[in-house]
Amino acid sequence: MKQTVWYDKLQYGTLLLLVAVMPVGWRYALWVALLLALVSLVKLVSRRKVGNPALPSALRWILYAPVVYWLVLVASLLWTTDLAVGWEIIRLKAVLLIFPLCFLLTDTSYLSLRHLRVIAYTFMAANCAAFLYFLVRTGIDVTQGGDFKSFYNTFNSNWKTSGGIYHHAYVALYALTAIVFVYHELFSRWTELKGWHRGLLFVAAVFLLGYIIVVNSRAGILATVLVSVCCLLHQMVRYHRWWQTIVVALVMVAGSMGVIQIVPGHQNRIASTVQKIKEKGDEGDVRIVINQASAHAYERSPWVGYGVGDYLPVFYDQCRYDYTAEGYANRNAHNQYMESLLAAGIPGLLALLWFLLAPFSKVCRSCNSFPIVVSIVVVLFNLLFESMLERQMGLLFTGSLYAYIVLVLSEEENKFV
């Protein structure tokens, strides 16, 4: 990193450390995110200049969007009765403020696209390393002669009890985002890459896809299908590779059918869900049950919601009223859009959509438009099935991803100035 001072190198190193530990455990990532905020504060004091001249004014409002979303939730405390719970949730979501404030207040002109690519490679490698670790650990634990089912079950047991990332939806989201980067790297820089480099990227893609398969998230599987369709369409429209795309699509279909037959969990997670819905109707799947209960709760206060401190008890009461099973009343809405409506009503949803959709206004001029658009679509899709901004692991990932997108866009935008 030429012409950089010590605090620039320290900030960049902290960014690399953050994406390296995020797939390993959210607790470690939270501490590193706080370290990033501290490093940025030290940089601000040492530099004695506030602001980021490398960030065009047209992109600044994208970083303000998560701040506005957080402030809307703070405003909902005005009609919250349980202020203690409300402030606890506000404190939890304050992680979203780290990334926009760091990059709005400190100079990032030392970051080139090459540095940003290294960050993406680090995130990809960390996901592959996590998967490889569990593969090796499982191989040691499984006795000789064990079938694939015992290997699969042992892998899931090791993974769930590891103390790190323990929610399959987030693991699938991390791995799928890394796959999007691998795809873009292969097809945008194919001629620049050496043979061994291409081979490593293909191996990484296999590892990441394997990770998604074994953690067995329904949302992750559906999102993988969505990304696969986007990539195939991209090949057909952008590169006009019609017959190659058809062959790849057939191979993917055949491979998917094989996975469904081999991996027992996929039969249980998807086929059994469909079967239960057929047999029991809307009550056949817990996600449908809690989505309906959250919709009924929202209808009672559609404009401003119940406040960030009160909406969960209201949702639990609605679950008990609609469905007698107490097990439904210890979950969240499993839909981030509905969570925002329940907490802050229409203003909360609008602020969330501004936060999530803001990069689309500037992505058209980007050379990296395809991976950016697909990554955002994956996040939008997963928020339909998980309340990802209610957990630290989701807040950290979403906040860092959108900050990364802004840094990529700003580096390319400066070329047009």
Nearest C-alpha neighbor of 266 from the set 404, 258, 68: 258
Joined together, the tokens standing for residue 358 give 């803001």
Give the pLDDT confidence of 104-121 residue by residue, as tens digits: 999 998 998 899 999 999
pLDDT given at position 293: 82
Asked whether the predicted pLDDT for residue 362 surpasses 60, the reply is yes
Q: Where are the alpha helices (DSSP H) in 3-82?
A: 6-21, 26-47, 57-75
Give the pLDDT confidence of 189-246 residue by residue, as tens digits: 888 888 899 889 988 988 888 888 888 777 888 888 888 888 888 888 777 776 666 6
What are the backbone angles phi and psi of residue 192, rounded to the nearest 5°?
A: -80, -25
pLDDT given at position 213: 81
pLDDT given at position 263: 59
Q: Are the C-beta atoms of 43 and 106 separated by less than 8 Å?
A: yes
Q: Which residue has the tokens 């540095």?
A: 115
Q: Which range has highest mean pLDDT (116-120, 163-167, 238-242, 290-294)?
A: 116-120
Please calculate the CA angle 390-391-395 and round it to the nearest 5 degrees.
90
User: H or E element: which one contains 276?
Assistant: helix 272-280
Asked whether the predicted pLDDT for residue 320 surpasses 60, the reply is yes
User: H or E element: which one contains 305?
Assistant: none
- Residue 248 vs residues 102, 173, 205: alpha-carbon distances, Å: 42, 23, 15
Rg (CA), the chain: 22
- Residue 260 vs residues 66, 172, 221, 254: alpha-carbon distances, Å: 39, 17, 11, 10
Mean pLDDT to the nearest integer, 117-137: 90
